[in-house]
């Protein structure tokens, strides 16, 4: 039983640290990129990476992707951004907002 708990603890620490490294790397890339589709994709990747770690951060990154996608009419960025926002709303239990946002992703 002790070995099992130790294994679970080691796996938890490993995967938590790995997620943090990924988010740190993506944040560094965002600070170096200019406002274009590459930065939008980075924001969308950060939103995905933070969804299980911090829903507020995930929501912020998805909203930034949508904000940057609107003026250049980047449809893939808008769709994916609204989708990620809807997933966070659903995760929080705000199903009416999730439905509205996910429907926006389909337009």
pTM tops 0.95:
no
Mean predicted confidence (pLDDT) in 48-61: 91
Judged by average pLDDT, the poorest of 12-26, 27-41, 56-70, 89-103 is 12-26
Q: How far is CA 106 from CA 41, 74, 79, 98, in A?
A: 18, 14, 7, 13
Residue whose C-alpha is closest to residue 42's, from 17, 18, 24, 19? 24
Amino acid 9: pLDDT: 55
**Could you count the other beta carbons within 10 Å of the beta carbon of residue 44?**
23
Amino acid 36: pLDDT: 76
Are 83 and 105 within 8 A, CB to CB?
yes
């Amino acid at each position: 039983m002790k070995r099992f708990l130790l294994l679970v603890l080691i796996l938890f620490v490993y995967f938590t640290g790995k997620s943090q490294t990924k988010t740190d790397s993506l944040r560094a890339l965002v600070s170096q990129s200019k406002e274009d589709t590459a930065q939008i994709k980075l924001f969308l990747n950060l939103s995905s990476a933070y969804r299980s770690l911090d829903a507020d951060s995930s929501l912020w990154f998805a909203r930034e992707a949508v904000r940057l996608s609107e003026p250049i009419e980047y449809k893939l960025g808008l769709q994916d951004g609204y989708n990620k926002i809807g997933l966070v709303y659903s995760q929080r239990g705000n199903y009416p907002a999730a439905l509205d946002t996910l429907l926006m992703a389909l337009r």
